[in-house]
Chain A
Amino acid sequence: MRIALENFTKTFGDTAVIENMNLEIASGEMLALLGPSGCGKSTTLFAVCGIHRMDGGRLLFGDKDVTSVPSQNRNVGVVFQNYALYPHMNIYENIAFPLKIRKDNKKTIDEKVQEIAELVHIPELLDRKPIQLSGGQQQRVALARALVREPDVLLLDEPLANLDAKLRLEMRSEIRRIQQKTGITAILVTHDQVEAMSMCDRIAIMDKGQIVQLSTPKDMYENPASEFVAGFMGNPPISFLDGTVDENDLRLANSSQSLPLSSNISLPNDGETLRLGIRPEHFQPNYPAKLSGKISFIETQGREVLYDVTLENGDVLRSIQSSGMPHAIGELVTWGIDPDKTLAFAANGSRL
C-alpha cells in the first residue's frame, strides 16, 4: 500500500522536530529513513504508526486519510528496537496477540501463527518464553508478530541495532527476503548507512527534521546532494580537502599542492573556497592527479587495507586498496586522484 506524508509537522513542547515534511513511498517498496540520532527519523516512524500524534499535515495509506485514525485501527506492523516482546507470554501467544485482540477464531489464529512461524523460521520455538531466546530469535518473533495480521505497512525501528555483527548480517538479508516475499510496504529506520543501502529500494536521508535527499542507494552514493549526505554515505567514509579555486585547479589550503578540477563541476569564481570530497576507492597509486603525503595510519580489513595519508597541510586522505602492496606507517607516498570521480561542494555544503 502506498504511504504519503504531506506537510507533516511534529513539535514537542516549543521545539519543532519536523516541519512540513513530504514523503511518498510506493506500494511494495522498502524505504530507509537514514540519519544521525536526533534527526527525527524515529519520530516520523512513530507518527506513521500512530503512537505520536501529528501536529500538522496529512498521512495517507493508499488514498485513505489516516491522520486521525488511532494506531489500533491503522493496521500497521511495527518491529521495535528492543523487540518489545511480552515477557509473560510464550512465543505462540506473542505472535497470536494481534489476532486474539482482533477476536479471530482459534483455528484461524493457529493456522496463521504456524504459517508465519514457518516464514521466519522459528516453528520449533513456539513454546518458549522470550527470555529463553537469543537476540536474533527474538527479532524473528517480533517480525512474525508484526506481520501475522497482514498489515498494510511494516515499520522497522532500528531492528538490527541490538544484534551482534554476524547476526546483523544474517538478519539484514532475512528481513529483506521476508519483505520481498510478502510484498509489504516497509519503512526502515536506521542510523547505519550500510543497512539502509543493503536492505532498501530507496533511502530518505534526514538531517535536523528535513529530508535532505531521497534516492536509490546507488545514486545517493555516487551523487550526494550535499556534503552532509556524502559524509554520511560510505564506509570507510569520504575525506574532504579544502582549498580555493584557481582557474581549473583547486589550490589546497595552507599548501603548495593543487589538484585539477573535473570539467563537469560548475565552477565558482576564482578565489572562492571549495571543498572537494574524495572517496577512499578514488585515491589510488595509479590515478593521474598526484598528491604526496605520509602514511599516518593503517587499518587492515582482511581483503583490503585502509590507509590514512596525511598531506603536508595536515589534511588527511583515505585510500582503500587490496592488500598485497605492503606499506608502512611513516612511508612517504605519492598517490593519485581521479578528478572525474571527485565531488565538489560549496562553502554552504551544497553540491556543485
Chain B
Amino acid sequence: MRRAHLLGLGFMAPALLIVCLFFLAPVIMTAVFSFTNMSSGTGISGGAYEVTEKTVRRLPEHGFPEAKAEMLAQDVYRIDPAGLTALGAGYGKALADEVGKSLSGKTFNGRRDLERALKKMKARPRSIREIKVAADLFKRSVLNTRYETEDAFVAAITDLDLKLDTSERALLSKVAYTGWTWTTENYELIATLPSTLRAAANTLTYVGFTLAFNVGFGLFLALATFYLPGAQAATFRAIWILPRILPPVIYIMMWKWLTWDTGFISSFLSNFDVTPRNWMLHSDINAWVSIVLINGFVGASLGMILFSSALRAIPSSMLYASEVDGASRLQQIWYIILPQLRWPILFTTAYQTLSLLTSFDYIYLSTDGGPGSSTEVWALYTFHTALNNYGGALQYGLGAALALVLVVIGIAASLVYLRLFNFDKLVAKPRIEQ
C-alpha cells in the first residue's frame, strides 16, 4: 500500500472509529437485544429460578395442571429426617428426638400449626423467636425462594413430591426463570399491538405535516426575501434563523409559557371572555398544531437558507427575460424559479424526512407524546418503551425491536433517496448555466 493511502486511512480513522462506536455498534447491539425479552424485570445479566404468586397464576396459562400449581403455592412444613438432623444440630438432640418421635412424617400447612406443635415439646427453645426459626428448618415449599441454578431448583421441586413428569418439570423451570431469554416475540408484538399502529400513524402525521411546513414555509420565506430589498431581506432571514440558534430546552420553555393555561395566549384571550386552557395539550389538534409549528419554525430556516442561495444562483437576466416575455411575479415563480429549485427542494425533503423520522426531542420536551399518546411518534414510543416511562417497567427487548424497525426504514429511505438523486450527477456540475 502506498504511503498516501495509509495517510488517507489515517485521516479517516477518527471518523471510522466514531461511526463504529456510535452507529454500527449500537445498531448491532439493538439488533441483538431485539431478539430477547430483556426488561427491567429480567435485568440484562442472567437470572435465577423462583416460584412466586405470579408464577403460580401464570402456570395454568402455559398448560401446567392447575391442581399441581396450587400445591406449589402452599406453604408446606414436613417433619422429615433431613429437618430433624438440622434441628438436632441447632437445638440439641433431645428436642430432635422428641419431635422425631411424636411428629415424624407429619405435614403442616402453614408455619403457625407447626409452631403450635413445637410449643408442646418439653425440650422446646425458650423464646418464641427461636421456635419460629426452628420451625423454618422443616419448611418444604419453594414459594418465594430463589435458586441460583436450575439443578438446585429441580432438586427443590423434586423434594416437594408433586409427582411431576419431565415435560411439566421443564415447563415449571422455564416459567420460574426470572432472567431474559431469546425470543422473536417482540416482532409479533409490534405487528399486533394497537399502540404500535398508533405510533406509526402518529409518525406519518408528524413527518408529513412538519415536512410540508418546513419545505413550504422555507420556500415561501426564500421567495419573499428574494423579492425584498437587500437590507430588509437580510433582517428577515436573520430573524428566521433565531429559533435554530436558541437552545431547544429554552425554546420549548417559551412555547410552554406561551400556551399554558396561565400563559400568554390564555391571558390575552381572557380579555375576550375565552376560557383559559392549555393551548398545547387541550386537544389532539392543539398538540399537533403546536408540534408542527415548534418543529417547523426551526426546520424552515434550513430550507430558507438552501433555497435562498439556489435562488441567487439563477442569473438575473433570466428573470428579466421572463418579465419582458410577459410573465407576472407568480408566473415567474411557477415557470422559471420553481423548476430550477427542483433539486434543492428534493434534497431538503429527503434530508428532512430522514431527520424527522428519528427525531423526537421537541415532542419529548413539549407534549411528551400527550395528551394521552396522541402525539407519541414511533421514536418517542421506542424511547418510552425501552428507556423512560412513568411505570418504570422498561422493556429493553421490545424497545430494541422498535428501534431496529426505524433503523431499517431509515436506511431503506436513504438508499431510495441516493438512487433518486443520482448522487454522481449531484456532485458533478451546477445545474444552472451562467
Residues of A in contact with B (beta carbons under 8 Å apart): 46, 49-51, 70-74, 76-78, 80-82, 84-89, 97-98, 101-102, 130-131, 145, 149
Q: B326, A77: Cβ atoms under 8 Å?
A: no
A51-B320, A78-B320, A97-B335 known; A84 vs B315 contact (CB < 8 Å): yes
Name A145's closest neighbour in chain B (CB-CB). B325
Q: Is B205 an interface residue (CB 8 A)?
A: no
Q: B340, A76: Cβ atoms under 8 Å?
A: no
Q: A51, B339: Cβ atoms under 8 Å?
A: no
Among the listed A51, A81, A85, A86, which residue makes an inter-chain contact with B323, where contact means beta carbons less than 8 Å apart?
A51
Name B331's closest neighbour in chain A (CB-CB). A101
Q: A97, B340: Cβ atoms under 8 Å?
A: no
Measured in the bound complex, the distance between the Cα atoms of B122 and A208 in whole Å is 133
Among the listed B320, B328, B339, B434, which residue makes an inter-chain contact with A88, where contact means beta carbons less than 8 Å apart?
B339
User: Nearest-CB distance from A237 to chain B (Å)?
Assistant: 31
Q: Is B127 an interface residue (CB 8 A)?
A: no
Q: A87, B431: Cβ atoms under 8 Å?
A: yes
Measured in the bound complex, the distance between the Cα atoms of B319 and A51 in whole Å is 10
Q: A80, B320: Cβ atoms under 8 Å?
A: yes
User: Nearest-CB distance from A351 to chain B (Å)?
Assistant: 38
Q: Is B321 an interface residue (CB 8 A)?
A: yes
Q: Is B327 an interface residue (CB 8 A)?
A: yes
Q: What 19 new A-B contacts, CB under 8 Å, besides A80-B317, A87-B432, A101-B326?
A: A46-B320, A49-B324, A51-B324, A72-B326, A78-B320, A80-B320, A84-B315, A84-B318, A86-B321, A87-B340, A87-B433, A89-B339, A97-B322, A97-B335, A101-B325, A101-B331, A131-B433, A145-B325, A149-B326
Q: Is B293 an interface residue (CB 8 A)?
A: no
Q: A77, B324: Cβ atoms under 8 Å?
A: yes
Q: B315, A82: Cβ atoms under 8 Å?
A: yes
User: Nearest-CB distance from A165 to chain B (Å)?
Assistant: 21
User: Which A-B residue pairs are the 6 nearest by beta carbons?
Assistant: A84-B321, A84-B317, A98-B325, A88-B339, A80-B317, A101-B326
- Segment 339-385 of B: residues with Cβ below 8 Å from A: 339-340, 342
Q: A80, B321: Cβ atoms under 8 Å?
A: yes
Contacts of B335 in A (CB 8 A): 86, 97, 101
Measured in the bound complex, the distance between the Cα atoms of B66 and A202 in whole Å is 114
Contacts of B434 in A (CB 8 A): 82
Among the listed B315, B324, B336, B339, which residue makes an inter-chain contact with A71, where contact means beta carbons less than 8 Å apart?
B324
Contacts of B431 in A (CB 8 A): 87
- Segment 198-244 of B: residues with Cβ below 8 Å from A: none
Q: A84, B320: Cβ atoms under 8 Å?
A: yes
Contacts of A84 in B (CB 8 A): 315, 317-318, 320-321
Measured in the bound complex, the distance between the Cα atoms of B315 and A85 in whole Å is 10
Name B336's closest neighbour in chain A (CB-CB). A86
Contacts of B331 in A (CB 8 A): 101
Q: A130, B433: Cβ atoms under 8 Å?
A: yes
Q: B340, A101: Cβ atoms under 8 Å?
A: no
Contacts of A130 in B (CB 8 A): 433
Name A138's closest neighbour in chain B (CB-CB). B433
Q: A74, B324: Cβ atoms under 8 Å?
A: yes
Measured in the bound complex, the distance between the Cα atoms of B335 and A130 in whole Å is 16
Kindly count the residue-residue contacts between A and B in the assembled complex, taking CB atoms under 8 Å apart: 67
Contacts of A51 in B (CB 8 A): 320, 323-324
Query: Which of A74, A86, A89, A102 is packed against the most chain B CB atoms within 10 Å?
Result: A86
Size range of the chain B interface in the assembly: 20 to 34
User: Nearest-CB distance from A15 to chain B (Å)?
Assistant: 17
Query: Which of A46, A72, A73, A149 is packed against the most chain B CB atoms within 10 Å?
Result: A72
User: Nearest-CB distance from B327 to chain A (Å)?
Assistant: 5
Residues of B in contact with A (beta carbons under 8 Å apart): 315, 317-318, 320-328, 331, 335-336, 339-340, 342, 431-434
Measured in the bound complex, the distance between the Cα atoms of B325 and A73 in whole Å is 9
Contacts of A80 in B (CB 8 A): 317, 320-321
Contacts of B321 in A (CB 8 A): 78, 80, 84, 86, 145
Q: A82, B324: Cβ atoms under 8 Å?
A: no
Measured in the bound complex, the distance between the Cα atoms of B318 and A145 in whole Å is 13
A and B contact pairs by CB, cutoff 8 A, 23 listed: A49-B320, A50-B324, A51-B324, A70-B323, A71-B323, A71-B324, A72-B323, A72-B327, A74-B324, A78-B321, A80-B321, A84-B317, A84-B320, A84-B321, A86-B335, A87-B433, A97-B325, A101-B326, A102-B326, A130-B433, A131-B433, A145-B325, A149-B326
Measured in the bound complex, the distance between the Cα atoms of B315 and A67 in whole Å is 26
Query: Which of B326, B331, B431 is packed against the most chain A CB atoms within 10 Å?
Result: B326
Measured in the bound complex, the distance between the Cα atoms of B331 and A239 in whole Å is 53
Contacts of A85 in B (CB 8 A): 318
Measured in the bound complex, the distance between the Cα atoms of B339 and A61 in whole Å is 34
Measured in the bound complex, the distance between the Cα atoms of B322 and A51 in whole Å is 11
User: Nearest-CB distance from A267 to chain B (Å)?
Assistant: 50
Contacts of A71 in B (CB 8 A): 320, 323-324
User: Nearest-CB distance from A166 to chain B (Å)?
Assistant: 22
Query: Which of B315, B325, B327, B331 is packed against the most chain A CB atoms within 10 Å?
Result: B325
User: Nearest-CB distance from A77 to chain B (Å)?
Assistant: 7
Contacts of B315 in A (CB 8 A): 82, 84
Measured in the bound complex, the distance between the Cα atoms of B321 and A49 in whole Å is 10
Contacts of B433 in A (CB 8 A): 87, 130-131
Name A142's closest neighbour in chain B (CB-CB). B321
Q: B327, A101: Cβ atoms under 8 Å?
A: yes
Measured in the bound complex, the distance between the Cα atoms of B320 and A77 in whole Å is 11
Contacts of B328 in A (CB 8 A): 72
Contacts of A87 in B (CB 8 A): 340, 431-433
Contacts of B340 in A (CB 8 A): 87-88
Contacts of A76 in B (CB 8 A): 324
Measured in the bound complex, the distance between the Cα atoms of B327 and A323 in whole Å is 56
User: Nearest-CB distance from B331 to chain A (Å)?
Assistant: 6
User: Nearest-CB distance from A147 to chain B (Å)?
Assistant: 12
User: Nearest-CB distance from A142 to chain B (Å)?
Assistant: 8
Measured in the bound complex, the distance between the Cα atoms of B336 and A72 in whole Å is 15
Measured in the bound complex, the distance between the Cα atoms of B432 and A72 in whole Å is 24
Measured in the bound complex, the distance between the Cα atoms of B240 and A113 in whole Å is 45
Measured in the bound complex, the distance between the Cα atoms of B326 and A49 in whole Å is 11
Name A93's closest neighbour in chain B (CB-CB). B335
A82-B315, A87-B340 known; A98 vs B326 contact (CB < 8 Å): yes
Measured in the bound complex, the distance between the Cα atoms of B327 and A102 in whole Å is 8
Measured in the bound complex, the distance between the Cα atoms of B317 and A70 in whole Å is 16
Query: Which of A50, A71, A77, A149 is packed against the most chain B CB atoms within 10 Å?
Result: A71
User: Nearest-CB distance from B378 to chain A (Å)?
Assistant: 37
Measured in the bound complex, the distance between the Cα atoms of B431 and A87 in whole Å is 8
Measured in the bound complex, the distance between the Cα atoms of B433 and A78 in whole Å is 19
Q: B326, A81: Cβ atoms under 8 Å?
A: no
Name A101's closest neighbour in chain B (CB-CB). B326
Measured in the bound complex, the distance between the Cα atoms of B318 and A78 in whole Å is 11
User: Nearest-CB distance from B292 to chain A (Å)?
Assistant: 31
Contacts of B322 in A (CB 8 A): 86, 97
Contacts of A89 in B (CB 8 A): 339
User: Nearest-CB distance from B345 to chain A (Å)?
Assistant: 13
Q: B326, A86: Cβ atoms under 8 Å?
A: no
